[in-house]
């Protein structure tokens, strides 16, 4: 039976730009909630949540780790996510199942490029957020400037609930604007807090920012507006209730401050998580569709309702095999019971249920509404699949993942490694939806694709170390795409006569470029009068998608094409699914050639942080690399350069940047969109690929 009320559950994610302090903050949360007895440190490789050997060696988070802790009488399920863009899949699938998020900003760096990315991801899933400005003990930190950046760059109604007491190395405590109290820390571990009156010299500033808080709240909350305009007294309790209402409605973003490394501000952050972020029952019901009728249904968070959960992550475990991480939206699931995978339409048995603490497992008997847990025993379930009761089937919308932009060849050194490599690649592909494996028929090579060089580097390291495969690795290559530029109608016929039954398939396809880039291949049919029987249409779709895996220019995958089946014919005896699949592939390939195909390349959004004296060299170098500079800004005593640059031009850019700036600049980069390759460069790429 449930041992905690649903309104006392918080499912939150810690998200941020790389190196903003996500894992350090999570470590402090675990320490203050009594989950761990000692604080782990990222730099020392002792962080609880960074359990993978690759994470400990590099001092970065690679995979999202789950844990559960208690604060006051609340149960907080936490997912600590990576900051590096190469592992953005972890943020994407975590936000899909979370009720709220803590977005961490560096007090010096402010709103950085990946901060914007994770913010947009949270917006897409309508996840309520609170912000925590970290590292206020560092030289150059500026709390109010970071709040201003949040308002300007993110368009957020970000408003401080606190002010730092002291700056940089003199950062000693926090002023609470709601209760008008000064919180000082009596010990280095930050466990003993002391409440004081606000010093007289700070009172004017406190009054100013408390009024500012009430103004911002009055803009989005009617109850506060009524009292504020009537000049009536507004109590601290009323302010807290208004903050909760508007935060859950995504109209307000509370901003807190602190220094996780110096153990300041974490208990207040925990209070804010409990006070302002939603429980599972505070949010609108999740929508799903009935796989039989196709009608939309609402999933209400009730224990007594039929069971429904989403598998948002698959991970391998050396002891129990495959772990499927699930978020339970309603109902109860017990060990030994059966679940129905409504996407695969298969029944599976739950052998074991686990509550996860990073890579440590606690066996539990059941999970209920709002819980996040891992399931052992599911053979066919993958990321994005819905688990439910067979008598009440429902489908939750799948998680959408970005397409890989970089690829590399890999081959086993010996025949004994061949089978081990195949198994390793299958497991990695199962765990990570942005890691793709394909086979090049022309070269006989196995190709792995991912989101960036670091992504593939980690995957290769795991293949060699975890799966003990000896392999030869090729150089990284850009994952180009092909598309069309004009609308065409193409016909495909597959006719084969043999001794017995023959084969007959005939389709007419209309092919045109997608209106919105990045949509991929879409298929629809406008068949009238039953010229093609309904049972053959899925085969036509399969033939189109199969043919789209290889274009006509250089064999790269085809994207952004709208395909419509408009006509065709069939034979009563000789038509089959295979014949229509082949006919569709013939029509698609013929259409590609007629529709003026072009080559596309991934364009990266790059942000470079560089000292003023090296700005000229950086801008000049970017111009040579076909970059389009969009902004040059100032951040503290350094300059920032934002640009769009083709991925092909910035392989191993870290080495170039170090040599240009004597190692004093840094950069972050993420895939943004695909763009046509200039003709002269495209001709060279096609020539190399064909030869």
Here the tokens at position 116 are 């914007």
Interval 167-221: pLDDT, tens: 888 899 999 999 999 999 888 887 888 899 999 999 999 999 999 999 999 999 9
- C-alpha span between 432 and 315 (Å, rounded): 9
Tokens representing residue 365 in the block: 């008997």
> Which of 320, 337, 276, 372 minimizes the C-alpha distance to 80?
372
Q: Could you report the per-residue pLDDT of 247-282, keeping only the tens digit for each?
A: 999 999 999 999 999 999 999 999 999 999 999 999
Please state, in angstroms and rounded to a whole number, the distance separating the CA atoms of residues 318 and 322: 9
* 604-647 pLDDT per residue, tens: 999 898 989 999 999 999 999 999 999 998 877 789 999 999 99
Residue 85 CA to chain centroid, in angstroms?
9
Cβ 408 vs Cβ 447: under 8 Å: yes
Query: How many CB atoms are located within 10 Å of the residue 173 CB?
Result: 20
* Mean predicted confidence (pLDDT) in 394-398: 89
| Burial degree of 515 (CB within 10 A; 0-12, 13-18, 19+) | exposed
Task: Please tell me the distance from the alpha carbon of residue 147 to that of residue 136, in angstroms, as a whole number.
Answer: 13
Tokens coding 230: 């009537």
pLDDT (tens digit per residue) in 349-377:
999 999 988 878 899 999 999 999 999 99
Q: Write down the pLDDT at residue 203.
A: 93
pTM reported for the whole predicted model = 0.79
When mean pLDDT is compared across 284-293, 404-413, 438-447, the lowest value belongs to: 438-447
Q: What are phi and psi of 318, to 5 degrees?
A: -65, -20
Question: Would you state the torsion angle of the CA atoms of residues 405, 411, 417, 423, taken in this order, to the nearest 10 degrees?
Answer: 30
Task: Provide the token pair at 76.
Answer: 């907080």
In a 10 Å sphere around its CB, with 0-12 CB exposed, 13-18 middle and 19+ buried, how is residue 442 labelled?
exposed
Q: Give dist(CA 450, CA 437) in Å, integer.
A: 9
* pLDDT-derived band at 33, boundaries 50, 70, 90: very high
Extract the runs of DSSP E, i.e. beta strands, from 413-486. 436-440, 445-450, 471-473, 477-478, 481-483
Helix (H, G, I), strand (E, B) or coil at 527: coil
Mean pLDDT on 496-502 = 73
* Residue 65 pLDDT: 83
Tell me what percent of the residues of the chain surpass a pLDDT of 70. 96
Residue 320 in this model has a pLDDT that exceeds 90: no
CA-CA distance, 256 to 314, in Å (whole number)? 34
* 182 φ/ψ sector (left φ>0, alpha ψ -120 to 50, else beta): beta
Is 329:368 a contact under the CB 8 Å cutoff? no
Relative orientation angle of helices 222-229 and 200-220, to the nearest 10 degrees: 120
- Do residues 454 and 406 touch, judged by C-beta distance below 8 A? no
> Does residue 1 carry a pLDDT above 60?
no
Q: How confident is the model at residue 441 (pLDDT cuts 50, 70, 90)?
A: low
**Six-digit token string for 587:** 């029509």
Helix and strand counts by DSSP (H, E) for the chain: 16, 38
- Nearest-5° angle of CA 184, CA 103, CA 666? 100
């Amino acid at each position: 039976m449930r041992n905690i009320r649903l309104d006392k559950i918080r499912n939150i994610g810690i998200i941020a730009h790389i190196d903003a302090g996500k894992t350090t903050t999570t470590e402090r949360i675990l320490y203050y909630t009594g989950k761990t007895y000692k604080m782990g440190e990222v730099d020392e490789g002792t962080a609880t949540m960074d359990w993978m050997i690759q994470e400990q060696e590099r001092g970065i988070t690679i995979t999202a780790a789950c844990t559960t802790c208690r604060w006051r009488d609340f149960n907080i399920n936490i997912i600590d996510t990576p900051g590096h863009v190469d592992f953005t899949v972890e943020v994407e699938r975590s936000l899909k199942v979370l009720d709220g998020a803590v977005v961490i900003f560096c007090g010096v760096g402010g709103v950085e490029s990946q901060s914007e990315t994770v913010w947009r991801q949270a917006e897409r899933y309508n996840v309520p957020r609170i912000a925590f400005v970290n590292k206020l003990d560092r030289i150059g930190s500026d709390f109010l400037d970071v709040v201003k950046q949040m308002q300007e760059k993110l368009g957020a109604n970000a408003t401080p609930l606190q002010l730092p007491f002291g700056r940089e190395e003199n950062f000693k405590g926090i002023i609470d604007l709601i209760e008008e109290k000064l919180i000082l820390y009596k010990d280095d571990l930050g466990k003993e807090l002391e409440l004081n009156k606000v010093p007289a010299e700070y009172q004017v500033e406190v009054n100013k920012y408390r009024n500012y808080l009430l103004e911002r709240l009055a803009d989005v909350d009617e109850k506060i507006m009524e009292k504020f305009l009537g000049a009536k007294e507004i109590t601290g309790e009323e302010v807290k209730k208004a903050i909760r209402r508007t935060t859950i409605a995504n109209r307000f973003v509370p901003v807190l401050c602190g220094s996780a490394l110096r153990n300041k501000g974490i208990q207040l952050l925990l209070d804010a998580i409990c006070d302002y972020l939603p429980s599972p029952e505070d949010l609108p019901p999740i929508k799903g569709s009935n796989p039989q009728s196709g009608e939309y249904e609402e999933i209400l968070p009730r224990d007594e309702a039929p069971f429904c959960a989403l598998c948002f992550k698959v991970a391998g475990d050396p002891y129990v095999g495959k772990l499927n991480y699930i978020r339970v939206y309603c109902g109860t699931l017990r060990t030994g019971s059966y679940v129905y995978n409504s996407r695969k339409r298969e029944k599976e048995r739950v052998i074991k249920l686990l509550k996860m603490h990073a890579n440590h497992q606690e066996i539990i008997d059941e999970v209920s509404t709002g819980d996040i847990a891992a399931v052992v025993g599911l053979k066919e379930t993958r990321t994005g699949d819905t688990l439910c009761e067979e008598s009440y089937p429902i489908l939750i919308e799948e998680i959408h993942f970005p397409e890989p932009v970089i690829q590399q060849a890999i081959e086993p050194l010996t025949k004994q490694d061949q089978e081990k490599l195949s198994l390793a690649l299958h497991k990695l592909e199962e765990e990570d939806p942005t890691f793709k494996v394909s086979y090049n028929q022309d070269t006989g090579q196995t190709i792995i694709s991912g989101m960036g060089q670091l992504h593939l580097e980690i995957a290769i390291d795991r293949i060699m170390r975890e799966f003990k495969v000896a392999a030869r690795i090729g150089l990284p290559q850009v994952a180009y795409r092909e598309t069309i530029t004009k609308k065409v109608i193409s016909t495909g016929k597959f006719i084969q006569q043999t001794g017995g039954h023959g084969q007959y398939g005939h389709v007419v396809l209309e092919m045109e470029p997608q209106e919105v880039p990045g949509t991929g291949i879409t298929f629809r049919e406008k068949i009238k009068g039953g010229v093609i029987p309904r049972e053959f249409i899925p085969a036509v779709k399969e033939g189109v998608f199969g043919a789209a895996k290889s274009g006509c220019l250089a064999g790269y995958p085809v994207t952004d094409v709208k395909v419509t089946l408009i006509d065709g014919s069939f034979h009563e005896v000789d038509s089959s699914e295979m014949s229509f699949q082949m006919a569709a592939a013939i029509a698609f390939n013929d259409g590609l050639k007629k529709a003026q195909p072009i080559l596309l390349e991934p364009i990266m959004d790059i942000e470079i942080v560089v000292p003023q004296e090296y700005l000229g060299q950086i801008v000049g170098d970017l111009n040579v690399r076909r970059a389009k500079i969009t902004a040059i800004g100032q951040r503290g005593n350094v300059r920032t350069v934002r640009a769009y640059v083709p991925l092909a031009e910035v392989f191993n850019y870290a080495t170039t940047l170090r040599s240009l700036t004597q190692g004093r600049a840094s950069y972050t980069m993420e895939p943004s969109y695909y763009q046509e390759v200039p003709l002269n460069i495209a001709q060279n790429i096609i020539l190399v690929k064909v030869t």
